[in-house]
Amino acid sequence: MIRYSAAQLVQRAREAAVNGLTDSAQRVRAVAVPRTPLDEGDLRSSLEVVDADINQPKLVSGVVSNSPYAVRQHEDMDLNHPGGGEAKFLENAAIDARREVAVLMAKRAKKEIGGR
């Protein structure tokens, strides 16, 4: 049986959340890349994961792009993508990966906190 103090449990839960969020963002990025339009420049390679930071009060992670046209390519449903890809490439990837993300978060919690 694993025993933790309340403070240890909170710390391990935060570590699990940080690692799970970062793992999840990496998975969403992997699903998003082939959906990302190829029309202009190299938008696919501009997608980067922002790791969750355990030192911040609010734990967040995500996939971002510094490309000046990323938002338009993502949001404009009227654009054609003859080179491949789709509008809402990040949003659709996050929706489609939601079950995998749940599994990744659960695996991290089990690894960091223990349990069955």
Q: What is the residue-level pLDDT of the chain in tens, covering all 116 positions?
A: 668 789 988 999 999 999 999 999 999 999 999 999 986 568 999 999 999 999 999 999 999 999 998 999 999 999 988 888 999 999 999 999 999 999 999 999 998 887 65
State the Cα–Cα distance between residues 61 and 78, nearest whole angstrom: 29
Q: Residue 4: what pLDDT?
A: 79
63's enclosing H/E stretch is: strand 62-64
Q: Residue 3: what pLDDT?
A: 81
Q: Where are the domains of the chain?
A: 6-113
Q: Residue 40: what pLDDT?
A: 59
